[in-house]
Structure 1
Amino acid sequence: MPRTTRSESSSSSRRSRSPLSEHESSSERTNEYRVHIAELKPGVQENDIRKMFQRYGTLLDVWVASASCFAFVVFKYKEDAQKAIDQMDGRSYGDNRLKVTWARPRTRHRSNRHDPNMRCYKCGQRGHFSRECDGQMLDGRGPRRREVDFGRYPPSNYDRFPRSRSPQPLPPPTYFRHGMPMYPAFTRRYDPYLDGYFPPPERSGGHEYRFRERGTRLTPPSASARYNRRMSASIESSAIADFFKQKSIFITGATGFIGKQLVEKLVRSCPDIENIYLLVRPKRGHDVTERVKELVSGTLFNHARSVHPNFEQKIIPMQGDILDPNFGLSSADETTLIENCHVIFHSAATVRFHEPLRLAVQMNVASVKKLLALCHKLKKIQSIVHVSTAYANCNRSDVAEMIYPPPIHPSKLLDASEWMDDQVFDTITKKIINDRPNTYTFTKALAEYVISQESKDLPLAIIRPSIVGSSWREPMPGWIDNYNGPSGMIVATGKGMFRIMFGNSTAVADIVPVDVCVNMMIAIAWHTAMKQPKDIPVYHCCSWHAGALTWGKITEIGLRHLDTICMENAITFPNLTFTSNRFRYFYLRLFQEVFPAFVLDCAMRIAGRKPMFLKLCDRIYKSVRTLDFFTSHSWSFPNDNSLGLQQEMNDTDQKIFNFDLKDMDWDQYWFHYCLGAKQYILREDLAHMPKCQKRNQR
């Protein structure tokens, strides 16, 4: 047996290790996976930690620091440890929010100095290890530390001045307000023009930079000047922005979800557009001018208004309706389009899944025929973009970027809608749509076929977005203005009214942000005008190729965020269960949704108030049932044309009109989605969130 020297034995005995670090090294350990829990409330006990984590798997050991500020748990299986981290990280515990991560070894730096972020096992203070702590506070300066000889320099300057006498490179700049760099006084003056940080005078918007003696600092200009200076180089070299210069655009469906975002993006990123004509119909006693003013005065246009204050002058409303002949346009408006229109975006349609077939055919199919007839009259038309849906051919599991023939010719259905009785038409609806789940997807497929037959030589392209969700980045994260699809699920779940969902939790939820969809629409319009393709190109705007989440994972992430982003006046804490068993679905719905709603209505009757919860519960049920088909199946949407379009764009356009989801952080996206539902749909004050959180913790 080899002998051990006294110095070796004494040095090994001096090593300070936590109780859970007495195990073998990571290469020698088997079936032991250690998890670190931080930000615990004072007074937490070992049994509390054990009860909290034992539901995720077999625990080998639990250890809590003396100061009760953090703890370690050791799992037998790695999968259980990972599940505990995913579920518990960020959870509220008392007044704190837990930080649950993989434990890392406590090592020293080569300079033998302390890591200031580590805590002592005994007292919980930062800046020293437990072996250097005597548990007492000396002169108010904290625990006693071992003296360290830093040589000729004091500790505060030990890292600043290297021991080498050779010339050293300049240190990186520190950052002050507004993100402007400023070097310390002992370095040379920072020249923004020489170093390329600030634009040259001809691109500075007339703003003068002022400098100080002890450094260089920029006095920030106005928001408009900052934005124009930052974007000027990009817009000047943007092929898409150059294409839209002095162009007139006609948009249908501009008051819809996608249409609003499209108008905002055009006026913000293509400021040299000549005019934007919007097809708008009077509604609820408001004429088209009032509706457009209400549109552009909303929160969505705040950013565009700050950088281009006069953009409203370019937006011109045209009164009309897609159900009327020739869109109901006046002769003057039609002449204006014939003489001036260059690009058309057609996004007007009914998005109700179970719209009566007659109305769905008129709005989604007949309107396309009217649009094509109008386009054939236009003298300057260069590009037409039709907004369809990726689920137009949802009867196929693999949907290619092509137009499929429909089960019935659109002309026959259009003729029948003119003379057939409503009752007969509704009776034969199921036989007509056949294997499609609703009239929306069926009529969208018919519209694509009409385009393929009647577009002739028109420069036309089709975009097929999947489920369109809140904005990702532009103009602000999480913007949403409707209850359709996931938005209604978030609101109903946050309010505690929606707790059971029918579907397959492993099915892919193909949700694409609305700003991604709009960016692709604008890029398609540019590409169609430049290339003038002979065949009608179809572009899939989907997320399944970019790591889209399953419905089960989205539910897990959403519930975690809804614990933080609490809805006001919620009847109970948020929870949602997925099931693919019909009997279990109706059983759980009866006891988790219907029965509580009945009890609440009885309480309201006793209080002399009008009951509302059963009616609301029924509305949620009917709305959610339309999603059963989409939450129970998965599709693959190849996007070769979309990838090819991206390759045709230069680097500047790929940044300004980005529709690449490879950098998408889905967890962050769903956080902003939940926050946007609270802020923009329910219009709740975010300042009330702490009060709602305390209520949920009860």
Structure 2
Amino acid sequence: MGFLEDRDLSDVPTIPDFYKGKTIFITGGSGFIGKVLIEKLLYSCSELDRIYLLMRNKKGVKAEDRLAQLYSTPCFERLQKERPGVFESKVFIVSGDVLTPGLGLSQEDRALLVNRVNIIFHVAASVRFDDTLKFAAQMNLRGTMEIIELAKEVRELSALVHVSTSYANTNRDPIEEVLYPPLADWRETLEVCENADEHSLRVLTPKYLGELPNTYTFSKQLAEHVVCEHKGELPIVIVRPSIVISSAEEPIPGWIENFNGPVGIFVACGKGIMRTIHTKPDIVCDFIPVDVCAKNIISCAWIRGTKKLEPTDDVEIYNCCSGKLNNILMNDLVEMSKHIGKEIPLNNMLWNTGGTITKNKHWHYVKVLVQHLLPALLVDTLLWLFGQKPMLIKVQRRIYIANLALSYYTTQQWTFDNTNFTKLRSVLKDDDKSQFFYDIEGVDIKGYFVKCCFGGRKFLLKEKDEDLPQARAHCRRMQILDKSLKYAFFGYITWYVCTKIMPFINSYIF
């Protein structure tokens, strides 16, 4: 029996009541989803006992200092204003690392977690597509195994939410909310990755990946099997987000801290440096706002934690994605990005907003050379001549590599079934709907992406709203220059044909 079927929820506590007095352990709390998850828990479930974050020293910065940096980000501005003191009194660090055996926990910290924790959110993962198989397996596979080993020791565990990805099974279509057979044995994969030399691993990687495109999706698929081996033994839920992008409303409309998904397209097109995108116009884009994802994760722990664990319980899986609820075609997304880019232009545009879809891979490469590389060479040469540091070729190289990695996803279509995802929100108690109901159908897509654009300007590019009039004036100049050069170019072609080629043709014919 699942958590939603034939279940009377009338006596089940509300979500804040469920979390009241609970101790939570979170991996990946410094990441994009992790930050919003922490903020939402503290804001809407303020009576929870405490949150422990697994955090390591990074680049010479101590874990304690990283926690202070975490709280200083704009993501927590709402919490600072409306719930002052909550973060400082309820969020604590346990020093460790998912890459380390035993999570790198000291005996004291492990005992603390075993005796106090009630809910575990395993969010930590490497999402890079170009990780080596060894690193992806250590981070996404062994890290999950270590979390499971810890969970088995926890005395009073109510729920363990493992965050996977909707793209863990891209060799299938449709992708339903079920566990699919693995493409390899996860234990054997770990053993090979830990014992084989780097050269052998590079040779073996394509064989292991099989039908999957990269080490990220491969390792996340196997991690689901690490988790599901303990069904009926541990209170586990798997959440599979699709492409997680800017927040719709919470904690700030448009909150974003990376260039993933459509925000990267908006910025590159808005700066005028992306002129061609290798994709198909009729591809349906499946994006999920980060605050919707956080609400779903919190609700999943609630629905699992309010049901007594039985040996016959399966692992419920939630495809946290738009599905058929509210989607947009790639062609519409690109056109919208150009339109919004003119309404809300970025500072210091290098050229007029642009970007066109190119379906043919080889033609796309030609356009990259002509429309991306050659202008970048010209701009960098001018920067060098004027004593400035060349930078555009480097930027275009990053865009090219990113597009190359994304092309697998932007040229294929998958149908995601999100029945459990939508069912869960429908069983929320009335008192919880204002804080935890995730509306997708009612979202105005253009209005949402306008927020994304403002968020990208503010949080990624550090541009100020008061600079918009100047940016709009510069945008108009770029539009005039763009049109003038196009008219001049086609005018020259017309003149050349009329004065040089046509007389030659006429003399040859007559």
Q: Does the 8 Å contact 1:238/1:653 carry over to 2?
A: no
The alignment partner of 2:153 has SS state of: coil
Taking the TM superposition and a 5 Å limit, the aligned residue runs for 1:96-175 are none
Residues 1:459 and 2:238 aligned together:
no
Residues 361-410 of structure 1 deviation map (CA, whole Å, 9 limit, x = unaligned)? 01001111111110011001110000000000011120111111112111
Taking the TM superposition and a 5 Å limit, the aligned residue runs for 1:297-376 are 297-311=72-86, 312-376=88-152
- Name the amino acid aligned to 2:416: F
Q: Does the 8 Å contact 1:506/1:550 carry over to 2?
A: yes
Structure possessing the higher radius of gyration over alpha carbons: 1
Taking the TM superposition and a 5 Å limit, the aligned residue runs for 1:145-224 are none
Which piece of structure 1 moves more, 371-380 or 579-588?
Answer: 579-588
- Give me the whole-angstrom Cα distance separating, in 1, the residues matched to 2:109 and 2:22: 17
The alignment partner of 1:546 has SS state of: coil
Residues 1:289 and 2:64 aligned together:
yes
- Name the amino acid aligned to 1:359: F
The alignment partner of 1:528 has SS state of: helix
- Give me the whole-angstrom Cα distance separating, in 2, the residues matched to 1:490 and 1:336: 45
Cα shift at 1:455: 5.0
- Counterpart for residue 277 of structure 1: 52
Q: Does the 8 Å contact 2:169/2:217 carry over to 1?
A: yes
The alignment partner of 1:250 has SS state of: strand
Residues 1:585 and 2:364 aligned together:
yes
Residues 497-547 of structure 1 deviation map (CA, whole Å, 9 limit, x = unaligned)? 222110111101000000000000000000001124600000011112212
- Name the amino acid aligned to 1:559: K
| Match for residue 518 of structure 1 among 285, 290, 294 | 294
The TM-score normalised by the length of structure 2 is 0.89
The alignment partner of 2:52 has SS state of: strand
| Match for residue 693 of structure 1 among 469, 472, 476 | 472
- Counterpart for residue 245 of structure 2: 469
| Match for residue 32 of structure 2 among 239, 249, 257 | 257
Q: Does the 8 Å contact 2:265/2:337 carry over to 1?
A: no
Which piece of structure 1 moves more, 243-252 or 401-410?
Answer: 401-410
Q: Does the 8 Å contact 2:232/2:314 carry over to 1?
A: no
Cα shift at 1:264: 0.3
- Counterpart for residue 491 of structure 2: none
- Counterpart for residue 187 of structure 1: none
- Give me the whole-angstrom Cα distance separating, in 1, the residues matched to 2:176 and 2:395: 40
The alignment partner of 2:223 has SS state of: helix
Residues 641-695 of structure 1 deviation map (CA, whole Å, 9 limit, x = unaligned)? 1232123211221221122312111111111111111100111111111101001
- Give me the whole-angstrom Cα distance separating, in 2, the residues matched to 1:639 and 1:249: 27
- Name the amino acid aligned to 1:380: E
Unaligned runs of 5+ in 2: 1-11, 478-510
What is the RMSD computed on CA atoms of the aligned residues?
1.3
Corresponding residue pairs, total: 462
The TM-score normalised by the length of structure 1 is 0.65
Residues 1:506 and 2:282 aligned together:
yes
| Match for residue 575 of structure 1 among 339, 342, 354 | 354
- Counterpart for residue 638 of structure 1: 417
Identify which of structures 1 and 2 has the higher relative contact order when contacts are C-alpha pairs closer than 8 Å and 6+ apart: 2
Residues 109-130 of structure 1 deviation map (CA, whole Å, 9 limit, x = unaligned)? xxxxxxxxxxxxxxxxxxxxxx
- Give me the whole-angstrom Cα distance separating, in 1, the residues matched to 2:155 and 2:13: 26
- Give me the whole-angstrom Cα distance separating, in 1, the residues matched to 2:437 and 2:80: 21
Unaligned runs of 5+ in 1: 1-236
- Give me the whole-angstrom Cα distance separating, in 2, the residues matched to 1:689 and 1:632: 35
| Match for residue 555 of structure 1 among 331, 334, 337 | 334
Cα shift at 1:437: 1.2
| Match for residue 539 of structure 1 among 305, 318, 321 | 318
Larger helix percent: 2
- Name the amino acid aligned to 2:257: D
Matched residues, percent identical?
Answer: 37
- Name the amino acid aligned to 1:673: C
- Give me the whole-angstrom Cα distance separating, in 2, the residues matched to 1:275 and 1:633: 43
- Counterpart for residue 418 of structure 1: 194
Residues 1:449 and 2:225 aligned together:
yes
- Counterpart for residue 430 of structure 2: 651
Q: Does the 8 Å contact 2:269/2:337 carry over to 1?
A: no
Q: Does the 8 Å contact 1:252/1:345 carry over to 2?
A: yes
Cα shift at 1:456: 5.0
- Name the amino acid aligned to 1:625: L
Shift in CA distance, 506/541, structure 1 to aligned 2, threshold 3 Å: same
Shift in CA distance, 560/272, structure 1 to aligned 2, threshold 3 Å: same
Cα shift at 1:238: 7.0
Residues 1:564 and 2:340 aligned together:
no
Residues 6-30 of structure 1 deviation map (CA, whole Å, 9 limit, x = unaligned)? xxxxxxxxxxxxxxxxxxxxxxxxx
Residues 1:427 and 2:203 aligned together:
yes
- Give me the whole-angstrom Cα distance separating, in 1, the residues matched to 2:42 and 2:209: 40
- Counterpart for residue 609 of structure 1: 388
- Name the amino acid aligned to 2:81: S
- Counterpart for residue 407 of structure 1: 183
- Counterpart for residue 599 of structure 1: 378
